[in-house]
Amino acid sequence: MSQIAINTSQNVNINFNIASVGERMLAFIIDLLIKVLYAVVAFYVFFNFFDLGYLLNGLDQWSQMAIYIAITFPIYIYPVVLESLMEGQTPGKKLMKIRVVKIDGYQASFGDYLIRWVFRLIDTSFAGVVGLISMIVSKNNQRLGDIASGTAVISLKNTINISHTILENIHEDYIPSFPQVIALSDNDMRIIKDNYTKALRVDDRQIINKLSDKIKGILKLEVDATKMTERQFIHIVIKDYNYYTGKDS
């Protein structure tokens, strides 16, 4: 399985496994089935329960088309809305354990998902051949939408031990210090822990200080340096996140 080195905001490279073309196609098929199911249920409800067919007979062609578009509108916005709400995943991607991430290490924004969605019109043309060819020939299995938005789809099926994940051992009597950590995402915390672990390994105090300042800035925290070192602060943030999200081992 090929990998991609994502350079984080702390200028540290982290390797992720690239989602294969097969995984992405299966995720696409799962999402397609969900959209087809929605369409079947929606048309059944509108035409059988609300007798929409009778109402449409008295409307002109443009009005009928507008109603059909309104009914199927959730299908069109399905990818961009769910990827935004589910941090780079759709139900299909979640089942296949893959996710959209920014190559520059930052959390993908709504604008990034929107660009991918717009380019989907090109990627899915000719029965999806354009997007398929793009994924096959590109270095990181990227379709045109990924290239344009600076994103890639990674696999979350990494076979790694607990020290390389966001998991931390937490005692039952653990008392958290920073409830603000719930504003962070799993991807944010994974980047924080990876950077922190690497910095500890080589005793890179500069990275630790920058990482600490970054976390404080994002969470708008003021920490008394006389009561807590930068290392202690980051370690507590990681534990607090696991405490509040229930990701204890």
10 — pLDDT class (breaks 50, 70, 90): very low
Q: Report yes or no: 165 and 242 within 8 Å, Cβ to Cβ.
A: no
In this prediction, residues 72-84 reach a mean pLDDT of 95
Q: How many residues does the chain have?
A: 249
Q: In which region does residue 11 sit, left (phi positive, over 0), alpha (psi from -120 to 50) or beta (all else)?
A: left
In the predicted model, is pLDDT for residue 92 greater than 90? Answer: yes
Give me the DSSP letters along 22-52.
HHHHHHHHHHHHHHHHHHHHHHHIIIIIS-H
Highest mean pLDDT among 4-13, 48-57, 228-237: 228-237
Please state the pTM of the whole predicted model: 0.63
Determine the average pLDDT of the residues in 177-205.
87
Q: Bigger pLDDT: 216 or 4? A: 216
β pairing state of 151-155 and 98-102: antiparallel
Q: Whose structure tokens read 């020290």? A: 163
